[in-house]
A and B are shown apart, each in its own frame.
Chain A
């Protein structure tokens, strides 16, 4: 069953490479967060208690509700951002690049985890999430898409934490979650400020900003 969630996680990454809508990017992020919730919940099902439920529920609230709502209302609607992402390279090439890197990541993760007591599939899924989040930041022009790319990367790091540590240091994860929320909040304010003083939501326009 855990495999199924990881397949869906990887598929959502591939979907990032085919879609051209900003809102679809946000929806993929929400889907990934819900998948993360189930992945965290899966091993906890046998010994359910209030204490173990804190982390999954915080993930669900922060990542699947608070951050997407904030981004949708405060950034996408208020700034009237155009719905298409502006790409530096063609979508087809982006997808090809993602697939090749995913294959490379899976093969290398399988080699790395051969002797270690680490489940290779969540490990590889997490790693490819980090890589594709990085590609999103590199190959997209819109600032808001950069924020989502960053969030996808963070999802990957979170999944990596689950894959590597069987016993999760969950206070640290909670701290990370808080940090993420603050970072997204700050990024939102920054994008708001930029667009109110300087009518641009693309990275390419930012190099005209000079003293």
Chain B
């Protein structure tokens, strides 16, 4: 019975992913004075892509066929590790926080391979950029979640997030700071505005979009869906710092807190995307290093803090 409820929650999570992006796009359009597409536009896009024929380049090898599937499936597995509700997630064991990071890494790796496989110089350039920024993004994850793991002495994501209590005010600030650096991570990993402009159509400035230029049909569907899933996974990851599901014993309140945090995240994302321009490529590593150094600072302060 319990496994059934876990699977139901997971399915809802998976199917809600395009809705998150739809909300972001809608709100962004309203903030810039446009009416904007429907909230369900991402679903229509996905349906359209699913119906289309998949075309491969002449130079494409088996990697091009394999990469979208592997990328999508590893994101799906990463979603299984993430604690979303009151119960343990589908996959949970000691040390799963490392598996989570490397499942997302595997997904990115295959996306990069798929982009390089076609042999177009544009995609190679995008792949190089994605790989470069990933190098700076990974320390953010390990330093923030690592410092939490260090403080609580646990290595399973579910146990770490359920040890968080918001009673101590100094700990609250730590949580807020950590969630800000994870928000940075989310923006980088999902290629949103200050790091990468998802709406640009100039190949020279793109990172993520340029890598999937040559994909079509079902492959593009898989890539798009994994992008939607990725952003929801990172958003939930950020919301987990505030621990909506164990603070309130009541299911209803927990769920409401979760929705509120999500709404705040969407507003932050939209606000940043309307207010800021894209950073120069040169200064992106510096901003990522800043987010990582927040994690280092937290680790330092809390490991040397003597009661």
Contact = CB atoms under 8 A, between A and B. Distances in A.
Contacts of A106: 300-301, 304
A7 B174 CA distance: 9
Interface in A63-109: 91-92, 95-96, 98-99, 102-103, 106, 109
Contacts of B298: 7
A153 to B, nearest CB: 19
Interface stretch (B96-104, B125-133, B209-217, B286-294): B286-294
A95 B289 contact: yes
A62 B108 CA distance: 52
A49 interface: no
Which one of A92, A102, A109 has the highest number of Cβ atoms from chain B below 10 Å of its Cβ? A92
A91 B304 contact: no
A7 B289 contact: no
Interface string A116-148: 000011001000000000000000000000000
Contacts of A103: 296, 300
Contacts of A17: 290
Contact of B283 (A1, A3, A91): A91
A98 B292 CA distance: 13
Where chain B touches its partner, the secondary structure class is helix
Contacts of A121: 301, 304-305
A18 interface: yes
Nearest to A15: B290
A96 B289 contact: yes
Contacts of B293: 14, 95, 98-99, 102
A120 to B, nearest CB: 5
Given A3-B170, A4-B173, A7-B174, A14 B290 contact: yes
Contact of B297 (A1, A14, A91, A109): A14
B105 interface: no
Contacts of A14: 290, 293-294, 297
Interface string A1-34: 1011011001100110110000000000000000
B254 interface: no
A110 B306 CA distance: 10
Given A17-B290, A121-B305, 18 more contacts: A1-B169, A4-B169, A4-B173, A7-B173, A7-B174, A7-B177, A14-B293, A14-B297, A15-B290, A18-B290, A91-B286, A92-B286, A95-B290, A99-B293, A103-B296, A106-B300, A106-B304, A110-B304
Interface of A: 1, 3-4, 6-7, 10-11, 14-15, 17-18, 91-92, 95-96, 98-99, 102-103, 106, 109-110, 120-121, 124
Interface of B: 169-170, 173-174, 177, 283, 285-287, 289-290, 293-294, 296-298, 300-301, 304-306
9 contacts: A3-B170, A3-B305, A7-B301, A95-B293, A99-B296, A102-B296, A102-B297, A102-B300, A124-B300
